[in-house]
Amino acid sequence: MTSPLKIIQTADQQEIAEFFLASVGDWRSERRYYTLPQGETQEMVSMITIQFLEQGEDELQKLAQLHDLPNLEILTCGAKVTWESTDIHKARKESTGMTVFGVLGKILYRDRGFATTKPVTAQFYFPNPQTMCLRTEYNNSVFEEEIKLIGNKYRTRQSIISRAGEQLMIGQYLEKRISS
C-alpha cells in the first residue's frame, strides 16, 4: 500500500533530482586541499559511488527520523554516497565512509557533515542546471561548495571552509566517471 501523502516537487526539487540522477555511478575523484594561510597542500584520490534515492526509500526515512521531521516520507528524493580515499603522497588509505542526502524544499538534509558525524542541513541553489551550490553552517564554520557537471563524464567541485569570516581551507576536485 502506498502512502496517500506524495509531496509535489517544486522546480528546485526537480532540478536537484535531475542533478542527482545525472551524478549516479562510480567516480574517480582527484582532490587537492589547500590549508590557509600556510598554503600546505594535501592530495587525495577517492573512489566514489553515487546512488539515487527515491521518495520513501528506507535511507531517506532514517534521515528524516535523524532530523526529527514530522513525516518519515517527506523527503522528495536523495542520494547515497560512499567513498574510499587514499593520500597520494603517503600511499595509504585515509578514510572510507558513507553519507545520505535528502531534499525538502531548498534544504538538503544530510546524515553527517564534512567535519562532524552529526546530522546537518545545507541551503542549495542552481545558477544553471549543471551547477549546484551548497552552503552549510555548523560549529561556527561555513562550508561553501560548488559541484559542476561537465558533459556526462566529468564533474568539478570546489569547497571553501571558513570560520569567523576567515578562509581556512580550499578543496578542489576533478572527478571522472568510471561507470554509470
Contact 146, 157 (CB under 8 A): yes
Looking at per-residue confidence, does 121 or 117 come out higher? 121
Q: Which domains, ranges and CATH numbers included, belong to the chain?
A: 11-177 (2.40.128.20)
Average pLDDT on 157-165 reads: 95
Read off the pTM: 0.88
**In the predicted model, what is the mean pLDDT of residues 47-59?**
97
* pLDDT (tens digit per residue) in 8-52: 445 678 999 999 999 999 999 999 999 998 888 999 999 999 999
The rounded distance, in Å, linking the Cα atoms of 63 and 154 is 28
* pLDDT for residue 11: 64
pLDDT at 67 over 70: yes
Q: Alpha-carbon distance 158 to 38, whole Å? A: 19
pLDDT for the residue 3 = 40
45-49 long-range contacts, Cβ below 8 Å, gap at least 24?
A: 45/85, 45/86, 45/88, 46/83, 46/84, 46/85, 46/86, 47/83, 47/84, 48/81, 48/82, 48/83, 48/175, 49/25, 49/81, 49/82, 49/83
3-state DSSP assignment of residue 22? helix
Whether residue 6 has pLDDT greater than 50: no
pLDDT at 10: 58
Banded model confidence at residue 95, pLDDT cuts 50, 70, 90: confident
Read off the pLDDT of residues 124-145 as tens digits, 9 standing for 90 and up.
999 999 999 999 999 999 999 9
pLDDT band at 5 (very low <50, low <70, confident <90, very high): very low
Q: Please report the pLDDT score of residue 2 as a whole number.
A: 42
CA atoms within 13 A on the CB side of 40: 4
Summary mean pLDDT of the chain: 91
pLDDT of residue 73: 94
Retrieve residue 64's grid coordinates. Answer: 528524516
